[in-house]
Amino acid sequence: MSEEKSLNFIEELIENDLKSGKYEMLVTRFPPEPNGYLHIGHAKAICLNFGLTQKYGGYTNLRFDDTNPVTEKTEYVNSQQEDIQWLGFQWKNELFASDYFGQLHAYAVKLIEKNLAYVDDSTAEEIAAQKGTPTEPGVPNQYRERSIAENLDLFAKMKNGAFPDGACTLRAKIDMASPNMLMRDPIIYRIKHAHHHRTGDTWCIYPMYDFAHGQSDSIEQITHSICTLEYVAHRELYDWFIEKLEIFPSKQYEFARLNLTYTVMSKRKLLQLVNEKLVSGWDDPRMPTISGLRRRGYTPESIREFCERIGIAKRENLIELSLLEFCIREDLNKKASRVMAVLDPIKLVITNYEGDGEVLIGENNPEAEDKGGTREIPFGRELWIEREDFMEEPAKKWFRLAPGAMVRLKFAYIVKCDNFIKDEHGNVTEVHCSYFPESKSGSDTSGINVKGTIHWVSTAHAKTAEVRLYDRLFTVESPDAEEGDFKDYLNPGSMQVLDKVYIEPYLATASLENRYQFIRKGYFCVDKDSTADKPIFNRVVSLKDSWKG
RNA sequence: UUUCCUGUGGUGCAAUGGUAGCACGUCUGAUUUUGGUUCAGAAAAUCUUGGUUCGAAUCCAUGCAGGAAAACCA
């Protein structure tokens, strides 16, 4: 409790604001645009906004920033809600910027009446040309001096559908020479004869982000409007509208967005991967989307822990994927049952084994407090073992099977390799061993010590499954920073499908949401593509492997 | 060559004028019926140059580096 964890800069601001009595309660919001699926970068913002109000008291609204009807869909609204709740957060009010279209329109009229906005008939190209550049001031045009009455009339006509798309815009009258280009008379309303996912055809003019976001915050009395660094330059405008409109002074604060190695984070690029079928969909287990991570087998706890560990600051950052992997391993190590599956099988025959119907007992998770219970594992004379657990000519420090070498079969007996068989291609197909009856797991009186333990599945009892192994989506740490098209750097080996994997019978009961550790192979979960006769497992993440062969 | 933001181990985050710390990663070693887990340890950083100060990662100045800013996108 008293463990003083250092505060990030936003927490410091908040503590000061609360202490000084500036606000009595914290109100934040998470404001996605419903034009794509949420990703791990959004998770950072979600954890921040909801986490802050959980910590300091107050609440967080979910507000969809739906001011551009042409890109927004209800499908995205639904997926975004599901993802936020799956992460473990609940919003106080569910709101839409489109709820405020009437109010926003009134604000625009108010600005016109204060001679702080005007209707501009220029084309997009003309406006861009007049805007200047970062190093040269912009120049005003003739429309800037229209009368208030004329502007009111024109704006009403815009609203009433008298003009086609692009005919004119409403602009704030600020300063065409401002060093901040966003202050050079920004467009605040544009004409779009488009169907809106919520307001339908009620409107044909829609407010721009800058004329909707801050005012929406203000209407909701958001105290701390937290966004990413690309909005720093917008803050001046944000404050200007609130001041001129004389409304509740919400304040904007910016933090650095998350970048993760070996992936891309922009919605545009993720959409491209989906549209061009380079991945199976928004929830492809290789995607950094929340739905992708969920399908991959990540837990909400592990993602929240990750967001906690990466911290909040204002510098550009590139987080190593290994940290995300650490977080899910840490979580699953405590939760996942240890089971056996053989991914790349060869046969092991115990030549001196005469047993019949022997059943062994496996402890499900020695790392869990209650050990996770136990289960029965059928044993037999013939087993499937991993191809890579046998070496014809063992490397130095090799702990596993090799001619003459001994190894423990997990939960079972110690065996010694006596012989092996190869096919015509020189591939090992069978390993022949003898076992030591007195070496049975749990009641070993053999006195034999072995360094290696390997997993196995009885050939007579094995079920088959498909296993999908995933690797990083891109071959380079920062696809965005590379020359050329980011898609040139897709990892062709990012998914490997193993269609005949042998699993122990216990796993036949696995259901969606279940996560397992396949002993020595990694953590796996059941994929939604599974059918009654063919379970499909996704590899969430491999185990750490310190073997350097 | 304008304005704004940012510079701390490989990576991320701390230290708020007083011993540069934590985590991931890397490397040792111990333990281990998972080459997992756990445990012990190691290497590794304040962008430059000045200044203020008894004392600077922190304050000031300069330079340098990176990022952002010119969608009727958000």
Q: Is A74 part of any domain?
A: yes
* Residue A369 backbone phi and psi in degrees, to 5: -60, -40
Task: Say whether both A332 and A376 belong to one domain.
Answer: no
Q: Does residue A118 sit in the same domain as residue A180?
A: yes
| Burial call A195-214: b when 16+ CB within 10 Å, e when fewer | ebbbbeeebbbbbbbbbbbb
Best CA proximity match to A192, nearest among A300, A95, A101, A79: A101
Q: Which structural domain range is residue A442 located in? A: 341-455
Q: How many folded domains does chain A comprise?
A: 3
Q: Residue A33 catalytic?
A: yes
Q: Is residue A196 part of a domain?
A: yes
Residue tagged 């909701």 (tokens): A220
Which member of A110, A257, A335, A520 is catalytic?
A257
Residues near A355 by Cβ (< 8 Å), separated by ≥ 6? A379, A380, A381
End-to-end CA distance of chain A: 46
Mean pLDDT, residues A292-307 taken together: 98
Instruction: Provide, in whole angstroms, the distance separating residue A10's CA from nucleotide B20's C1'.
Output: 23
Q: Where are the beta strands (DSSP E) in A147-211?
A: 169-172, 187-191, 205-207
Q: Residue A4: is its pLDDT beyond 70? A: no
* DSSP string across A6-63: PPPHHHHHHHHHHHTTS-SSEEEEE---SSS--BHHHHHHHHHHHHHHHHHSEEEEEE
Which residue, chain included where needed, has tokens 């098209």? A485
Question: How many Å does it take to go from CA A191 to C1' B5?
Answer: 34
Looking at A199, A231, A255, the residue that finishes a domain is A255
E strand intervals along A141-236 = 169-172, 187-191, 205-207, 224-228
Classify residue A125 by burial, with Cβ atoms within 10 Å: 0-12, 13-18, 19+: exposed
Q: State ipTM.
A: 0.97
Q: Which of A11, A33, A308, A363 is catalytic?
A: A33
CA nearest to A270, candidates A475, A486, A481: A486
Report the pLDDT averaged over residues A154-159: 98
Q: How far is the CA of A310 from the C1' of B53 (A)?
A: 35
Q: Which nucleotides of B are covered by protein (CB under 7 A)?
A: 1-8, 10-16, 23-27, 33-38, 66-74
A53 domain-assigned? yes
Identify whether residues A28 and A58 lie together within a single domain. Answer: yes
> Which CATH number fits the domain that encloses residue A121?
3.40.50.620
> Rounded CA gap, A306 and A327, in Å?
6
> From the alpha carbon of A545, which nucleotide's C1' atom is closest?
B35
pTM: 0.96
A336 touches strand B (CB under 7 A): no
Quick: pLDDT tens for A253-270: 999 999 999 999 999 999
CA A229 to chain centre: 20
Task: Report if CB A12 to strand B is under 7 Å.
Answer: yes
Domain boundary, last residue among A255, A282, A297 = A255
Do A449 and A320 share a structural domain? Answer: no
* pLDDT digit string, tens, across residues A206-239: 999 999 999 999 999 999 999 999 999 999 999 9
Is A4 contained in some domain?
no
In a domain, A3, yes or no: no
Q: Quick one: DSSP state of residue A229?
A: G
Is residue A482 over pLDDT 50?
Answer: yes
Residue whose C-alpha is closest to residue A297's, from A537, A505, A544 = A537
